[in-house]
Amino acid sequence: MGKEKQMAKKLEVKELNIEHLAAVMELQNKVVGNLQEDEKHFVLTRSAQDFIKALEHEHTYMLGVFDGEKLVAQSIFSYPQNGQVRDMPEFDCDTANDKLVVYKAILVDVEHRGSGLMKSMLDYIEKKSKAMGKTTSIIQIAIDNPASWISALANGMSIRKVDYDPTDGAKVLYLAKNLQVPTRSEAQGRMAMFVGKNIHREIPALFNKMQYRVAQGYYGVGIDKNTHSLIWEKPRDNAAKNRIMTQPLVQASGQGRTTRY
């Protein structure tokens, strides 16, 4: 049975509110508790206070996936306001804050992994964001978290920047998607980058290879399972925009943050 059908049959996606706080904390503790020591940087562990802010909708919202009564996946998404310092100001500097949706704190219960729930949540949030007039979605993901960046690629986001996180120095990917364009613009060039059957083994080399491709104006757009490759495309007229996406960091943000968004 396809993933989407499985979702439709069994699971329910809905926006969360303050009544879900206990379930949200429980799911976070379970997922974070299951991360290996060298995976702890995948996601920022949040306090109840952080979640309350998101659940009370101060420009941030939470989405949940339920298996019956049980919360099995969740995500925070935020709509930054103009004039605010937003998350990851080092990325996509040319889009106004009020046109952005920022994905963060994505967690899937270990027992529900492998059904594409992260992609399903991104698809849902994207629909809402488009209806609100947002033009661009963005996310930052650790390069050694392929389950996450492959899900973001499946949602149609593309890898636009490959860099060290300004706050903790971790190797990260920045992905974005233009929400107002139904399909990607015609590519000027296309190439495949071998990532192997075991991506983790390739990651040290991948960081440099990815940085090189991005510097050449390519976006990482998808995985070809037959050739175990990451597909890169160079959008037409991308050169100027790409320079903005990859320009060196001017001002760091998120003081005190030691892990991903």
Ligand X SMILES: CC(C)(COP(=O)(O)OP(=O)(O)OC[C@H]1O[C@@H](n2cnc3c(N)ncnc32)[C@H](O)[C@@H]1OP(=O)(O)O)[C@@H](O)C(=O)NCCC(=O)NCCS
Report the C-alpha gap between 91 and 109 in whole angstroms.
29
Asked whether the CA dihedral 70, 76, 77, 79 is positive or negative, the reply is: positive
Q: Which residue has the tokens 């994505």?
A: 106
8, 121, 148, 224 from 1: Cα distances, Å: 11, 19, 22, 21
Nearest distance in Å: CB 52, ligand X: 21
Instruction: Decide whether 62 or 108 has the Cβ nearer to ligand X.
Output: 108
Binding site for ligand X (CB under 6 A): 31, 42-43, 106-108, 113-118, 141, 145-148, 150-151, 199, 260
Instruction: Decide whether 86 or 234 has the Cβ nearer to ligand X.
Output: 86
Nearest distance in Å: CB 187, ligand X: 21
Nearest distance in Å: CB 16, ligand X: 16
Instruction: Decide whether 189 or 204 has the Cβ nearer to ligand X.
Output: 204
3-state secondary structure 215-260: HCCCEEEEEECCCCEEEEEEECCCHHHHHHHHCCCCCCCCCCCCCC
Nearest distance in Å: CB 141, ligand X: 4
Nearest distance in Å: CB 145, ligand X: 5
Instruction: Decide whether 152 or 238 has the Cβ nearer to ligand X.
Output: 152
The DSSP call for residue 148 is H
Nearest distance in Å: CB 261, ligand X: 7
Residues with Cβ within 8 Å of 83's Cβ and at least 6 positions away in sequence, in order, are 97
Both tokens of 36, joined, read 């290996």
Task: List beta partners, residue 11.
Answer: 67
Instruction: Decide whether 108 or 231 has the Cβ nearer to ligand X.
Output: 108
Residues with Cβ within 8 Å of 196's Cβ and at least 6 positions away in sequence, in order, are 202, 228
Instruction: Centre a 10 Å sphere on the Cβ of residue 209 and count the other Cβ atoms it contains.
Output: 16
Instruction: Decide whether 107 or 143 has the Cβ nearer to ligand X.
Output: 107
Is residue 6 within 8 A of residue 52, CB to CB? The reply is no
Instruction: Decide whether 98 or 123 has the Cβ nearer to ligand X.
Output: 123
Nearest distance in Å: CB 217, ligand X: 25
Instruction: Supply the Cα-derived Rg of the chain in whole angstroms.
Output: 18
